[in-house]
């Protein structure tokens, strides 16, 4: 397979969010280098690596992507996910070598909770008693590395007791719908407008041997669910408030993620006519807001 390197120069404080987002958007690996150093300073990092402590003020972030990937779409999606304006970026061809092996070495199983793991297909499950989701870095959001995804997974683990119906709105890789089924949900439906994400989600469900169903439009969902989770971004979540309220059964539970702290108030206000909220959860600056759908309007 042929590969490309997509590189950005960004302030150091943007490195962690952009690195996470690039991996979520389909990069096979991400390198970080001091913008003032030569290429020999590059160092491969994981999405959850502690890069904030780096001493330099500006960094070069380089993402390794397959040549077939739409780089402009990937950059737009990653920058939107990171909450930053797209900086100037450049693309160069990468010399042929075993990049699959090299990129795989950067990804190891991710422990979400004491019993829930995300495990790349080339790794053994670390704990034989674990609820393990097999998921490889790919062309859709949701690998378990981003704080928002981890919070959603832990929330699902807490609220699923067995037999629930679940909607994963903006499903990306399908990770949340797949996790819901493995945690005991009776049915899980994912919705996404990205056809590539839907294909990845269906493939991931097959690899995990679960019967989650994925749709290109919310119109395909005929019944509200007891549990609805949407890990997107603040602005679309605000626009989607009436729809997500309709899709949540009365007395059911809703989780909204992909939010920064300063966005929580506006998002909660959009859902206030239908939901009573619990205390928000925060991880690495990202926030998850959850609530219960009132039984009466």
Q: For residue 248, what pLDDT is reported?
A: 97
Q: For residue 132, what pLDDT is reported?
A: 87
Q: Considering Cα of 26, then 29, then 32, then 33, what sign does the dihedral take?
A: negative
CA nearest to 185, candidates 202, 208, 166, 168 = 166
Q: For residue 186, what pLDDT is reported?
A: 97
List per-residue pLDDT tens for the chain, 297 residues long: 577 889 889 887 888 788 888 887 878 777 777 665 443 333 333 233 333 333 457 888 888 888 888 888 889 988 998 888 888 889 988 765 544 555 555 567 788 898 898 887 777 777 778 898 888 655 445 566 788 999 999 999 999 999 999 999 999 889 999 999 999 999 999 999 888 788 888 989 999 999 999 999 877 788 999 999 999 889 999 999 999 999 999 999 999 999 999 999 999 999 999 999 999 999 988 999 999 999 876
Q: For residue 48, what pLDDT is reported?
A: 33
Report all structural domains of the chain as residue ranges with CATH numbers, in order of start: 3-104 (3.30.70), 110-293 (3.40.50.150)
Q: For residue 50, what pLDDT is reported?
A: 31
Total residue count of the chain as it appears in this document: 297
CA angle 182, 118, 33 (to 5 degrees): 155
Strands (E), the chain: 3-11, 29-34, 43-45, 58-66, 89-94, 110-111, 116-119, 131-134, 165-169, 187-191, 213-215, 225-231, 248-260, 275-277, 281-283, 286-293
Three-state DSSP at 245 gives helix
């Amino acid at each position: 397979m042929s590969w490309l390197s997509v590189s950005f120069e960004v302030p150091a404080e943007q490195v962690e969010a952009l690195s996470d987002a690039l991996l979520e958007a389909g990069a096979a690996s991400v390198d970080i280098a001091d913008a003032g150093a030569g290429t020999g300073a590059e160092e491969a990092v994981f999405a959850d690596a502690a890069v904030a402590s780096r001493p330099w003020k500006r960094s070069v972030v380089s993402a390794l992507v397959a040549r077939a990937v739409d780089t402009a779409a990937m950059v737009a999606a990653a920058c939107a996910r990171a909450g930053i304006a797209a900086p100037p970026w450049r693309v160069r061809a990468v010399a042929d070598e075993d990049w699959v092996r090299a990129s795989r070495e950067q990804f190891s199983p991710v422990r979400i909770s004491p019993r829930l793991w995300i495990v790349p297909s080339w790794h053994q499950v670390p704990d034989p008693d674990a609820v393990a989701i097999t998921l490889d870095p790919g062309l859709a959001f949701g690998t378990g590395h981003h704080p928002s995804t981890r919070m959603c997974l832990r929330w699902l683990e807490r609220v699923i007791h067995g037999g629930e119906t679940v909607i994963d709105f903006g499903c990306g890789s399908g990770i949340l719908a797949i996790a819901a089924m493995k945690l005991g949900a009776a049915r899980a439906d994912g919705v996404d407008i990205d056809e590539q994400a839907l294909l990845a989600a269906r493939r991931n469900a097959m690899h995990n041997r679960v019967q989650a169903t994925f749709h290109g439009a919310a119109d395909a969902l005929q019944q509200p669910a007891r549990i609805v989770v949407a890990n997107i971004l603040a602005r679309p979540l605000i626009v989607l408030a009436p729809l997500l309220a309709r899709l949540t059964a009365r007395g059911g539970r809703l989780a909204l993620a992909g939010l920064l702290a300063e966005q929580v108030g506006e998002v909660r206000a959009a859902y206030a006519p239908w939901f009573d909220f619990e205390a928000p959860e925060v991880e690495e600056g990202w926030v998850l807001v959850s609530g219960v759908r009132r039984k009466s309007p």
